[in-house]
């Protein structure tokens, strides 16, 4: 039976439309103006603020919070967007609990940081709601740049290049731009089609065209792009998915978690979206948590995250782990899949307990079986479709400085490039910085 088909226990409509609407409402409702003012008053406005150092995009956090405090939220929004043009999405999905807010002096002193992420959302939402664009294009340079991939890195690169006067064409393989912001972010973190609204707003800078269905290695080639453009920026993400090599992995009801998340994100009617009764997610990162919480919100009765190492080794932050637990998700650590059992369709998953000595993971031989009519694989993604001739650094595109690859005229950034930490905010920083280096190269 084909992988990804529905098993008998995977059905739609486990919850009513009203329950689904409530479940998938905004995870963190936006601040009202008076709430933002109170939150801003808690900032110490530190000199050499540690929160700025912790922000991959180097936003001047004390400045924008002081601007909110002074009743100038639009100015605050522009301060943010000048460094991070996708500051609206990052305010919603960035793991602030392990970045700026973890570094906050209030967190150190009181265990309760300034709510930087929600303040950032407050300011950027006000700027975007105005409709017009806060930045102007420089005089045209006559140069054109191809950006491959319309995810966070590609969009940030394209915007900065357009602002500097270059013409940009973004080549995107999927039907919609946005990358993981559109297809991979949990629906309860970016509601009301925010990812597309942000792209539409970003494009108001002018000078950026998007060609969807444009696939590197199929409809376009790197050689062709280099012939027709003055520079190329690769932000192709990680399209491959690591394989799970266990017995029964091809059974009905077993699929990739990234595909499940994308399906939820693109669903027009959540009541028509099937979900299992007993769902098990293999993995310990953000994808695993997002898939698990979405399963529970769709009405799955029992949802379990099965991770092969201890909780401290999980890629998902403790905040995200707690979010999963708060939604009724069980987290099992130190277990690895051995087999998926069932008569053609998943019915149970067999897990082996593990131990780790000196970093080496081994199975103990002791196993446990869980009911599982749906198994979602969240065991990591890999680079796929990298053009020949590019030097790799491990499993990703090797880069030096602000995204320069081994091929002259080609830069790379985001998840496909070595050195990053696979966060939206880091991808934005890499796209922005590569754009500045491309600009310096083109006008020198």
DSSP 102-120: HH-HHHHHHS----HHHHH
Look at residues 319, 343, 377 and tell me which one is the last residue of a structural domain: 377
Same domain, 281 and 403: no
Same domain, 270 and 314: yes
In a domain, 26, yes or no: no
Give the mean pLDDT of 71-87. 98
pLDDT tens column, 105-148 = 999 999 999 999 999 999 999 999 998 999 999 999 999 999 99
Q: What confidence score (pLDDT) does residue 6 get?
A: 63
Same domain, 436 and 404: yes
Same domain, 199 and 273: no
User: Could you give the percent of the chain with pLDDT greater than 90?
Assistant: 92
Residue-number span of the structural domain to which 335 is assigned: 241-377
In a domain, 15, yes or no: no
Strand-pairing partners, residue 392, are 397
- How many domains is the chain built from? 3
In a domain, 14, yes or no: no
Gap between the Cα atoms of 389 and 433, Å rounded? 23
Instruction: Give the other-Cβ count within 10 Å of 227's Cβ.
Output: 8
pLDDT at 335 over 60: yes
Q: φ, ψ for residue 280 (rounded to 5)?
A: -125, 130
Q: What is the mean pLDDT of the chain?
A: 95
Look at residues 78, 95, 130 and tell me which one is the last residue of a structural domain: 130
Same domain, 245 and 292: yes
Same domain, 245 and 373: yes
The DSSP annotation for 190-215 comes to S-TTHHHHHHHHHGGGSSEEEEET--
Same domain, 117 and 168: no
Same domain, 333 and 359: yes
Gap between the Cα atoms of 221 and 185, Å rounded? 29
Same domain, 344 and 437: no
pTM of the model: 0.95
pLDDT at 3 over 50: no
pLDDT at 424 over 50: yes
Gap between the Cα atoms of 283 and 12, Å rounded? 25
pLDDT tens column, 277-293 = 999 999 999 999 999 99
Contact 229, 146 (CB under 8 A): yes
Same domain, 248 and 340: yes
pLDDT range class, residue 1, cuts 50, 70, 90:
very low
Q: Is 140 exposed, middle or buried (0-12, 13-18, 19+ CB in 10 A)?
A: exposed
Q: How far is CA 93 from CA 157, 220, 431, in A?
A: 20, 32, 18
pLDDT at 300 over 80: yes
* CATH value at residue 65: 1.10.1060.10
Same domain, 336 and 267: yes
Same domain, 355 and 420: no
């Amino acid at each position: 039976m084909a992988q990804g088909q529905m098993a008998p226990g995977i059905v739609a409509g486990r919850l009513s439309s009203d329950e689904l609407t409530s479940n998938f409402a905004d995870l963190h409702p936006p601040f009202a103006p008076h709430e933002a003012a109170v939150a801003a008053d808690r900032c110490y406005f530190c000199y050499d603020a540690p929160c700025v150092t912790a922000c991959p995009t180097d936003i001047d956090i004390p400045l924008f919070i002081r601007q909110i405090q002074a009743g100038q939220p639009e100015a605050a929004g522009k301060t943010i967007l000048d460094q991070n043009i996708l500051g609206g999405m990052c305010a919603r999905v960035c793991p602030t609990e392990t970045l700026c807010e973890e570094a906050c002096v209030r967190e150190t002193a009181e265990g309760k940081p300034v709510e930087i992420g929600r303040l950032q959302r407050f300011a950027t939402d006000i700027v975007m709601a105005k409709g017009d664009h806060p930045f102007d294009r420089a005089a045209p340079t006559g140069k054109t740049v191809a950006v491959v991939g319309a995810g966070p890195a590609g969009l940030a690169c394209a915007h900065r290049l357009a602002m500097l006067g270059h013409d940009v064409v973004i080549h995107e393989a999927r039907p919609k731009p946005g990358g993981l912001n559109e297809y991979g972010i949990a629906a309860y973190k970016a509601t009301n089609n925010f990812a597309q609204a942000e792209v539409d707003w970003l494009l108001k800078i002018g000078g950026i065209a998007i060609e969807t269905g444009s696939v590197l290695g199929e409809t376009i080639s790197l050689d062709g792009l280099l012939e027709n453009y003055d520079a190329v920026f690769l932000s192709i993400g990680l399209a491959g998915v690591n394989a799970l090599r266990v017995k029964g992995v091809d059974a009905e009801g077993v699929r990739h978690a990234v595909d499940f998340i994308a399906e939820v994100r693109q669903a027009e009617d959540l009541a028509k979206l099937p979900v299992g009764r007993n769902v098990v997610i293999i993995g310990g990162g953000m994808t695993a948590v997002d898939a698990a919480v979405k399963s529970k919100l769709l009405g799955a009765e029992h949802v379990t995250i099965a991770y092969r190492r201890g909780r401290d080794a999980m890629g998902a932050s403790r905040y995200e782990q707690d979010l999963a637990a708060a939604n009724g998700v069980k987290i099992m650590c130190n277990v690895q899949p051995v087999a998926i059992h069932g008569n053609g369709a998943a019915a149970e998953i067999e897990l082996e307990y593990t131990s780790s000595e000196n970093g080496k993971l081994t199975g103990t031989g002791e196993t446990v079986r869980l009911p599982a009519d749906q198994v979602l694989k969240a065991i990591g993604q890999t680079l796929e479709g990298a053009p020949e001739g590019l030097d790799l650094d491990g499993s990703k595109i090797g880069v030096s400085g602000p995204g320069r690859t081994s091929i002259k005229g080609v830069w790379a950034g985001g998840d496909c490039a070595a050195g990053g930490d696979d966060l939206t905010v880091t991808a934005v920083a890499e796209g922005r910085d590569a754009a500045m280096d491309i600009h310096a190269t083109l006008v020198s």
